[in-house]
Structure formats: structure tokens, C-alpha cells
Structure 1
Amino acid sequence: MTYVGVTPQGVGLLLPPPAAARLVCGEDAPADGFTGVFPLEKSLGRLTGLKIYDRNRKLCFDGIMDEQKESVGGGWKLTLSARSRAALLLDNEAVPQTYCMPSLKTVFERHVKPYGFSGFIGDSRAFHGTYTVTKGMSEWQAAAGFCTRFLKAAPRIADGTFDASGAKPQGELLFDNAGGIGYTSVSVENLYCSAFSEVLAKSGSAGTYSPAAQSAEAVSLGIRRRRCLAQGDADGLIRAAEKKAYRVTADCPGEIAAALFTAARVRDPMLGTVEKLYVSQTEYRLNADGESTRFTLRR
């Protein structure tokens, strides 16, 4: 990978190869995160941005700097911590307001576009009803809340675009040491502690809670873990819990690029074939042992 620091004046400075680096991209975090340690021969001054290019010279990270530290002792080192530009939407509070006949175009122009994003993808028609942005919501919560409620899609920032289309990347990743993406280790985990057996939802003027959704899989496993929901999607909460209760992790040597939500499967002589997975998180790591990429896959 190639690393370019950006000064407050917008000047790009090529950084030396890092001694250690970690880049995490995940579906559960709107902003990607980076930390790295770079050897120094001279101070580079203040850096407020960071761009990272992969081995094919494609921009894979464009972010804002959270922390910059220079230290000496065992060498002169520069330590950087940055998040992708989606962090701007997390860090800024939305102005409370109520939309009548809300649309993705209006929400994008008021809550996303002012922070430098080029456009949006998704259903742009106006919807009946109202949508309220309350005090304390971030710009991301305001925009994402509209998308999940009206578009039934979780948004994502991709290549500077606010993507609320719900579309998945084409193709499939095959993790297979005999004829696919090679790995040094693979694990299959059942996280029973994350599963919910039942969700109760508040209903009626009396404010009583009654059964609204149940996980047949959790019940069949003898799991008893109930949640009470004052408002929201009970079925969606069950589905999210079922998804988090199962994961496959593959550690692969080298730098491997893959988009989130890409379909995947694992083929291993001992674990067999695990299908109908998708990429939930990627973690690129560089340290004294070399480069590696960790994939977290979910059903």
C-alpha cells in the first residue's frame, strides 16, 4: 500500500513505508478506521488528512486525521490514527427538524452533501408521512434513520457516494487452499450469547408488551434471551441477532482487496464447505510478521 498524508493546505506528502499498520472496514461501523506507525527522518508538520492506495494504485481509504504523534526512543516515529470521511457525519450533530413527504434527495442535500460527498444512489421518490430528526442525532443517524425506515436499506459511503440502494457487489470469494484464496487459518464460531429467543414490543394505549418476534433457531437450541422493544422493527432485531450469533473468520497472507457484502464461501478439508456467506468486515494488518488480511464472514 501507498500512504499519502495531507496538510491543512491540501498538499499531499508521500509517507515512508510503515513499520506497522491496521486498516479495518466493517458493515457495523459507517467509518473505516486506520492506525499506523511510520519511521521518520524529518518532521512532516501537521497532517489533517490521509489517503491510502492499494497495490493496484486504487484509492482505498480517504480519511480525516484523528490523532498525530511524533515520538523518539528507539527511533523517530510518527503514529497516525484516522477515520474515513464518513466520520464527519458521525461527529456533527444534525439540526432538529421534521420533514413532510421526505425523500432521499432532500435528506442527502441537508445532512450529507455539505460534508463533501459527491452524490447518492437509491430511490429518490418522496414518501408519504413525516420524518423527524430529533435533538442529539448525528448527521449519520439522521440520514441512516431515513434510509432504514423508508428505503428498507442500510446506507454506506462508497467512493465518496452515499449509497442507499441496498445493491450487493457482483461475484463471489472462494477461500480454498487448493484452488481459491489461500488462508493460514479459518474458524467457525457460534456466538450463542448474541442470540435472542424472543422480542416483546410495546403496543396499545396501555403500553403493555406482547410477543412480536421469535427466533426459531434460538428456541431450537434452548436459548432463552428476551428483549423488550419500545419502538422499532422486532423482526429486524431478531435477524440482526441471528446474524451476529454466527461468524466465520479467515486469516489470509498478503494484501487482499474485497468489497463489503461480497458473497463468499469457504472450502476446507476438515471443516467442509461453508456456503451462503458474505464479507462483513476486512482487516488489513502489517507488522513484523509481514502483511495479512483477516476476513469476517457472516450468513
Structure 2
Amino acid sequence: MKFEGITAQGAVCSLGTPLSVHISRDAGAPADELVGEFPWSVLPPLYRLRVSDGERILFFGPVDVQQEKISPKGAFLRVEGRSLAALLLDNEAVPQTYYSPPFSTVFARHAAPYGFLRYRVPGGTEKIGEFTVTKGMSEWQVLESFCRRAWSASPVLQEGDELTVGGSKENGVLLFGDSARGLTYLSLSRMRREYERISELLVRSAKDGRYTVSLTDEQALRDGIRRRRCLSASSAVSAKQVLANARQKSLEYTLVLPGWPDVQPGRNAELSDRLLGRVAGLRVWSVEYELDTGGMLCTVTLRRAAE
């Protein structure tokens, strides 16, 4: 495993053997995050961080924090960084209005200037009518807003620099617990969060301001859940999406795996366990890589896949 810092001039600096490293990936966040502590060394200002295992790049992105720390307990270097999606999150988009723009135009103006040159989106012509970029939107919010309107899905960055929409099914199902074909795990927990579930959702009418029933979760009602929420007509999140998010959060599987396997958030997943049986219809929600004196571990969180 190689941990490297890269300067703005392209010089590569080895960070040495880490004291600890934490890398987090989340399906709900476009940028991965890295926090690492390394043996003391005086380095020039670092521009990028890179983690690789000889075959694949596990992390690559801009440096947010570089700190040399000296204390009675010793001296060490601490670095924090995010993956390349941080460039799209940190830059504010120029307000403008498009009229039925193709995605290629939006991508060229809001992603390509930051070095993103590849994308993969569903086929067919996306017709979204007038599309307005308002002041305060980040470049990422522009791309996400377009994809939600065109394909009812959020974009993700695959392999760090390719923007994709709806790619989880194409990548197949990731198996956990099947010793012959899947990834084995050291421990497993299942948590139900009944407080996340919603039985009834009211939406405010834009005409008269009244709240009327828009959607109900019949399964929640059958399970005795009585939890109502009200949604304004101007909300950017649809009523259907609110219910779907509630269902996903209410059931979670957490697995601890040895090493740092290649697990991407957003992948469809299945779980096979001798006590819990076979569970299909899951999705990789988050991945946490840990490295310290105890070795390398990976914590994977699975939730229900979107319906």
C-alpha cells in the first residue's frame, strides 16, 4: 500500500507507513474523505493525496488540511483530503438559464473545466424544458439537479473521475457471506430503526395552502406505525422520495470485513448468513476503510435498495 502526497508542480512525496488512516465513502455524499496520520516529516505544501495498492487507486483528491504536530507524545504529520468531487462541491456555478439543454452542454460547462472528461448516462433524449442555475448553487448541485429532472436519479463519480447515472444495476449484484462467490465478513449486525419510518405524508397545495394526504406507506400502517410528516409544495424533494428515504434508513446491516476490498457505494447487494438467511434487494450505502496498528479493516453498511 502506497500513501503519497503530490505538489502543485507534480513532485511526488512518500508519506511513509501510516500511524492511522480512515477513508469514508457514502452513497449520500459525492466526495470521499480521508484522514491520515503519518510519521513526522517536513514536506512542501501538498496539492493532492493518492492511495494505491499497486493495481488500483483507492483514493485521489485535493488536500484540505496539512498539519505538522509536535507534542510530548511525539511528532507526526496529519493530512485530510477529499476525492475529486470536492472540486465540484467547492465551486459556485455561474447563474444562468438553459432552454432544453442536452446533458453534454451542462457537463461541458459545469464539470469539464475541473478536469472531468467522462460521463455515462441513460440513453434517449432528456427533455427538461427550461433549466435555471440560481445563485449559490454549486457545480455539483447543477449536475445533480439536471440528472434528477431528466432521469429521477442522482449522479455518482465512478473511479474518481467518471460521472455516471443509474450504473449500479449494470455493475451486477455484490454478494456478502457466500464463501464460494462473495465477500466473507468478520462480524454482522442488523439494526431496525422504527422511528425513521413514516406512515402518512401530507403535501401542501400551492393553490389554497391546505395539506392533503399525498402518500401512505401501507406496510408501515400494517406494522402499527403512526407517524405523519408534512411537506411544503416548494420542497425540492418529492413525496415519493421522502417515503423511500424513510424506508431505507429504517433497516441497516453493518458488516466488518478483513482488508480493504473494492466495494463501491451504490452497488446492489445481497447478504447470505446462516442465522439471518438470504437477504436480497439491498444497496451498499457506505464504506469505511480503517488502518492502524491492529491492521486493515473495512466496515460496510447496507440498506434497502430504492424501489
TM-score, normalised to structure 1's length?
A: 0.92
1:45-84 aligned at under 5 Å gives the runs 45-53=44-52, 55-73=53-71, 74-84=73-83
Residue among 275, 298, 302 paired with 1:270: 275
1:249 has 2:251 as partner: no
Residue among 196, 205, 208 paired with 2:207: 205
1:100-115 aligned at under 5 Å gives the runs 100-115=99-114
Q: How far apart are residue 167 of structure 1 and its match?
A: 4.5
Q: Deviations over 1:151-179 (max 9, x none)?
A: 22210112312212444353433322755
1:69-218 aligned at under 5 Å gives the runs 69-73=67-71, 74-123=73-122, 125-159=125-159, 160-176=161-177, 179=180, 180-218=182-220
- Matches of 2:20 and 2:220, distance apart in 1: 41
- Matches of 1:177 and 1:146, distance apart in 2: 39
Contact 2:128–2:150 (Cα < 8 Å) also in 1: no
How many residues were matched structurally? 297
1:4 aligns with 4
Contact 1:66–1:81 (Cα < 8 Å) also in 2: yes
Q: How far apart are residue 85 of structure 1 and its match?
A: 0.9
Residues 126/239 of structure 1: CA separation in 2 closer, same or farther (3 Å cut): closer
Q: Deviations over 1:84-128 (max 9, x none)?
A: 010111111112222111221121112111111112211473515
- Matches of 2:166 and 2:273, distance apart in 1: 34
- Matches of 1:250 and 1:228, distance apart in 2: 34
Q: How far apart are residue 77 of structure 1 and its match?
A: 0.7
Q: How far apart are residue 204 of structure 1 and its match?
A: 4.5
1:214-233 aligned at under 5 Å gives the runs 214-229=216-231, 230-231=233-234, 232-233=237-238
Q: Deviations over 1:37-74 (max 9, x none)?
A: 0112x311211211111x35211211111111111233
User: Given residue 75 of structure 1, which amino acid in structure 2 is its aligned partner?
Assistant: G
Residue 31 of structure 2 aligns to a residue whose secondary structure is coil
- Matches of 1:170 and 1:162, distance apart in 2: 14
Residues 116/67 of structure 1: CA separation in 2 closer, same or farther (3 Å cut): same
1:38 has 2:43 as partner: no
- Matches of 2:49 and 2:179, distance apart in 1: 37
Deviates more, 1:196-205 or 1:181-190: 196-205
Q: How far apart are residue 185 of structure 1 and its match?
A: 1.1
1:15 has 2:15 as partner: yes
- Matches of 1:161 and 1:178, distance apart in 2: 31
**Could you list the runs of 5+ residues in structure 1 that have no partner in the other structure?**
none
**Could you list the runs of 5+ residues in structure 2 that have no partner in the other structure?**
none
User: Given residue 214 of structure 1, which amino acid in structure 2 is its aligned partner?
Assistant: T
Deviates more, 1:180-189 or 1:282-291: 180-189
> Identity of paired residues, percent?
38
Contact 1:4–1:51 (Cα < 8 Å) also in 2: yes
TM-score, normalised to structure 2's length?
A: 0.90
Q: How far apart are residue 265 of structure 1 and its match?
A: 2.3
Residues 117/298 of structure 1: CA separation in 2 closer, same or farther (3 Å cut): same
Contact 1:169–1:261 (Cα < 8 Å) also in 2: no
Contact 1:183–1:253 (Cα < 8 Å) also in 2: yes
- Matches of 2:121 and 2:268, distance apart in 1: 21
Contact 2:63–2:82 (Cα < 8 Å) also in 1: yes
